[in-house]
A and B are shown apart, each in its own frame.
Chain A
Amino acid sequence: GENVEQHPSTLSVQEGDSAVIKCTYSDSASNYFPWYKQELGKGPQLIIDIRSNVGEKKDQRIAVTLNKTAKHFSLHITETQPEDSAVYFCAARATGFQKLVFGTGTRLLVSP
């Protein structure tokens, strides 16, 4: 089955810096890769996703890149703000499968 690894487990940056979180997946059949943000005591919220037919997707300060050959994808946050502080999860799913497999999460702390 699919296995998703996520690094780093914690990331501290200064406000205005960029943050990068990386994930690798094992199942070459995976074709959908969402990223979730989870604030303390709340359920995860989707922030951006990418499908395997594109290599990059951007939404304002957030971008995701996908390298299908290497089986890894990354979340990039530019101009970080304190409100970006949260736990971020990557996930992967293959066509025909009903479940998302999540990474172990990255705790991002943005200091003013």
Chain B
Amino acid sequence: SQTIHQWPATLVQPVGSPLSLECTVEGTSNPNLYWYRQAAGRGLQLLFYSVGIGQISSEVPQNLSASRPQDRQFILSSKKLLLSDSGFYLCAWSVLLSEAFFGQGTRLTVV
């Protein structure tokens, strides 16, 4: 069966520090991978998606970047965090014509 792992679950980082969130998927090949951000009490904002290794599409201009070094690995990064980067970050995967499956999320607080 397919599983998705996302870590860490919570993270507190100072303003200006770097960020690296990692997501891996097991049990499937060539998935579409997604990073979403959810601000407190808000909906799901798509940040990046990837249809293959090295292929990244950015949905909104921001202080973040994404990379896909392996088929089932998706990384969300920042060189210098801003206060506005705080939120709940969710990784998800899907295959064509199916639903998206979400990880358990990372709650990032930038202080």
Which A positions have Cβ atoms within 8 angstroms of B? 6, 32, 34, 36, 41-46, 49, 89, 91, 95, 98-105
Known: A44-B90, A89-B43, A105-B43. A100 touches B100 (CB 8 A): yes
Name the B residues within 8 Å of A6 (CB-CB): 43
Which B positions have Cβ atoms within 8 angstroms of A? 6, 32, 34, 42-44, 46, 49, 51, 57, 59, 90, 92, 94, 96-97, 99-105, 107
Known: A45-B102, A46-B99. A105 touches B42 (CB 8 A): yes
Known: A98-B32, A99-B49. A44 touches B97 (CB 8 A): no
Known: A34-B99, A98-B51, A102-B43. A42 touches B34 (CB 8 A): no
Nearest A residue (CB) for B10? A41
Known: A98-B49, A99-B34, A99-B49. A89 touches B44 (CB 8 A): yes
Name the B residues within 8 Å of A44 (CB-CB): 44, 90, 102
Q: Which of the residues A34, A46, A102 comes within 8 Å of B44, measured between beta carbons?
A: A102
B100 near A41 (CB under 8 angstroms)?
no
Known: A43-B105, A44-B90, A98-B32. A103 touches B43 (CB 8 A): yes
Name the B residues within 8 Å of A32 (CB-CB): 97
Name the B residues within 8 Å of A95 (CB-CB): 97
CA distance A43 to B104 in the complex (A): 4
A56 CB to nearest B CB, Å: 18
18 contacts between A and B (CB under 8 A): A34-B99, A42-B105, A43-B102, A43-B103, A43-B104, A43-B105, A44-B44, A44-B90, A44-B102, A45-B102, A49-B99, A98-B57, A99-B59, A100-B100, A102-B43, A102-B44, A104-B43, A105-B42
CA distance A32 to B95 in the complex (A): 13
B105 CB to nearest A CB, Å: 5
CA distance A89 to B45 in the complex (A): 12
Name the A residues within 8 Å of B34 (CB-CB): 99
